[in-house]
Amino acid sequence: MQQVWWKTALFYAGVVLIVVIAVYPFYYAVITSLESGTALFTPNFLPEMITFQNYVNVLTQGAFVRSIGNSILIAGVTVCFALLLAVTASYALSRVRFRGRGLLLMTILGVSMFPQIAVLSGLYELVNLLGLYNTPWALVLSYTIFTLPFTVWVLTTFMRDLPIEIEEAAIVDGASPWVIITQVFLPLLWPALVTTGLLAFIGAWNEFLFALTFTISETQRTVPVAIALLSGASQQEIPWGSIMAASVIVTVPLIVLVLIFQRKIVAGLTAGGVKG
Amino acid sequence: MSHADMVPEAANAPKSPPPEVNAGSGEAELQRQRIRAAYLFLLPMLVMLALVAAWPLFRSIAFSFTDASANTIFNGESEWVGFDNYVERSVRSNGEVRWRGVLVDGDWWNAVWNTVRFSLVSVGLELVLGMLVALVLNAEFKGRGLVRAAILIPWAIPTVVSARMWGWMLNDQFGVINYMMMGVGLIDRPIAWTASSDTAMIAVLIVDVWKTTPFMALLILAGLQMVPRDMYEAAKIDGIHPVKVFFKVTLPLIRPAILVAVIFRALDALRIFDLIYLLTPQSDSTVTMSVLSYRELQQFGDYGEGSTMSTLLFLIITGFVLLYLKIGRVDLAGDKG
């Protein structure tokens, strides 16, 4: 038993290291966001002062609050829309045997992992032709390209795991596929819908390339673009305090959500992959 | 969100007759009906994907064969130029042969090399570190839930935010990283991490590895948890060294999980845009295919050349995926056999 204690110590040292590396950058952002003046520019491990001036600046100057609203609206609508289409599609993909199913599944997975830049110029044209440029709808439309395949994929793997018996009973009772989906599967799928919806929401909330390309005015920006383009009085002067405050504002709700739905998120993340 | 909105459609949907489960023809009819319903259910999704994915992809590829610019992209005045954006051979009056186009462009090949280098190193590092984290999380100890929660934080933080956060921490004058490294004597003067061409790629790698190792770890952990515990017990009783158990038993068993995690990450790495665009915007030593293509499209308004680059990136990624699936024999759809 002598040699065991140092192994345990080493193990816990590793654990502490993992936690510190994972959490420290965000902690440092929080500290920075609470400082101003010269304190901001002195590296430190505990806040030298606590002021909410940076938060006040971010929330009152410019259109940051508007950007938060835009992001919530866009991500919310995108996710609802994707889930709506995905529930029926993934029922078909998981419970019905038809020709070309494997190929279709691979195509869907392919689309979800597509390089976004490959469709950028084509989407730019489409968005302009539909008159959606510089509106939230341009982003709702373009985010469908990754939220829809993703939700279909994850829901398909979830549904495939539901026992065949419940469906058989419904078929014997003469239920149509539509009734099976809405009456039998949907009640069982709620947890999966929440997980998938949350993951898709995070994806849409964090998206940058399309948001940067398809909006031009400050009032139409989403949160990531607003943070990326946050500038100070002059070009040279980067307002680190405000940037950190803005970063904390948009990250805290995500972290809270992730911590609440921890188990479900891990299940959802891995549902797509580890079947083989 | 109300699914009730869709109920009227249900009224129109074919009502299935009471199935005669024992009669062969009834079963076949039922099966046909289910397949019809399946196609109907898939239709809205397919239409949407055709509109937002297939059509724009087709148009982007088409642009790569034209001289479209910001001025001509909408009015149809751009002209078909064949493969000139890819490579164009011209003979000058003095007989000198000139090659133009993306495929002979040094900047493009620099971006290709940067992307490949970045992808190899980042995915490699993430695999090793993700494996270590997964092994730690697979052990039973007090506070395991806490650790798992902690590693989800980098994953949840938007890339833009992490680029900004790390940009601040890696700042040459006021950055806490330089401060810490000078404090312990690793370096004797501050490093301009993101600005200097020697360290820009290192900075990008640090941030990317920090942000995405958790994803890798969670996927590998899911694989690890499917390895039966008795296996470890048996090996322990037989007195086999844990390291040997890991390489001989665990690793082969979690191979499918690793293959899937690696391809997900590799695809992400090959198309990386936001982190590099924000953390090292001007650096030639980090510019990737996506960033270069974006610059061409948005900053220079050259839709022909920009689309050529994005098309090449698309082809490279598709080729990589096909090769990977073939070599690794990965069953992504879980549908074989």
pLDDT at A259: 86
Structure tokens at B247: 């390489």
Q: Do B293 and A120 touch (CB under 8 A)?
A: yes
> Residue ranges of the domains in chain B?
3-48, 106-328
Q: Do A121 and B156 touch (CB under 8 A)?
A: no
Closest residue to A141, CB basis, from B10, B52, B259 = B52
Mutation choice for A interface testing from B161, B241, B243 by most A CBs within 10 A: B161
Q: Do A121 and B278 touch (CB under 8 A)?
A: no
Structure tokens at A270: 């891995």
Closest residue to B41, CB basis, from A92, A110, A121 = A92
Q: Please write the tens of the pLDDT for every residue from A11-23.
A: 999 999 999 999 9
A-chain residues near B9 (CB < 8 A): 178
Say yes or no: A144 contacts chain B, CB-CB below 8 A: yes
A-chain residues near B38 (CB < 8 A): 91-92, 96, 98, 177
Which residue is closest to A45 within chain B, CA to CA? B176
pLDDT at B240: 85
B-chain residues near A156 (CB < 8 A): none
Mean pLDDT is highest, among A75-89, A228-242, B237-251, for A75-89
Give the range among A190-194, A246-250, B49-53, B212-216 with minimum mean pLDDT: A190-194
> Residue ranges of the domains in chain A?
4-51, 63-225+255-271
Q: Quote the ipTM score.
A: 0.89
pLDDT at B2: 35
A-chain residues near B297 (CB < 8 A): 120-121, 124, 213
Mean pLDDT is highest, among A42-51, A185-194, A196-205, for A196-205
Measured CA to CA, the distance from residue A16 to residue A208 in angstroms comes to 33
Q: Do B158 and A205 touch (CB under 8 A)?
A: yes
Fold of A63-225+255-271: MetI-like fold (1.10.3720)
Q: Please write the tens of the pLDDT for every residue from A117-158.
A: 999 999 999 999 999 999 999 999 999 999 999 999 889 888
Task: Check whether A43 has a pLDDT greater than 90.
Answer: no
CATH number of B106-328: 1.10.3720.10
Q: Do B164 and A243 touch (CB under 8 A)?
A: yes
pLDDT at A238: 81
A-chain residues near B48 (CB < 8 A): 85, 144, 148
For the segment A87-91, the average pLDDT, to the nearest whole number, is: 91
Confidence of residue A231 (pLDDT cuts 50, 70, 90): confident
Confidence of residue A109 (pLDDT cuts 50, 70, 90): confident
pLDDT at B3: 37
B-chain residues near A14 (CB < 8 A): 132, 136
A-chain residues near B278 (CB < 8 A): 228
* Number of residues assigned to chain A: 276
Measured CA to CA, the distance from residue A248 to residue A30 in angstroms comes to 6
Q: Is residue B90 classed as helix, strand or coil in its secondary structure? A: strand
Confidence of residue A271 (pLDDT cuts 50, 70, 90): low
Closest residue to A111, CB basis, from B49, B58, B264 = B49
Say yes or no: A176 contacts chain B, CB-CB below 8 A: yes
Which residue ranges in chain B fall short of pLDDT 50?
1-23, 335-337
Strands B97-100 and B88-91: what pairing? antiparallel
Average pLDDT, rounded, for chain A: 87
Measured CA to CA, the distance from residue B120 to residue B205 in angstroms comes to 11
B-chain residues near A85 (CB < 8 A): 44-45, 48
Contact B209, B151 (CB under 8 A): no
Q: Do A117 and B290 touch (CB under 8 A)?
A: yes
Contact residues, A window 77-136, toward B, CB-based 8 Å cutoff:
80, 83-89, 91-93, 96-98, 101-102, 104-106, 108-111, 113-126, 128-129
pLDDT at B20: 42
Closest residue to B313, CB basis, from A12, A117, A266 = A117
* Nearest in space to A146 (alpha carbons), one of B68, B311, B252, B53: B53
Q: Is residue B99 classed as helix, strand or coil in its secondary structure? A: strand
Residue B102 DSSP one-character state? G
pLDDT at B24: 57
Say yes or no: B262 contacts chain A, CB-CB below 8 A: no
| Three-point CA angle B1, B2, B3, nearest 5° | 125
Angle (deg, nearest 10), helices B55-63 and B303-328: 120
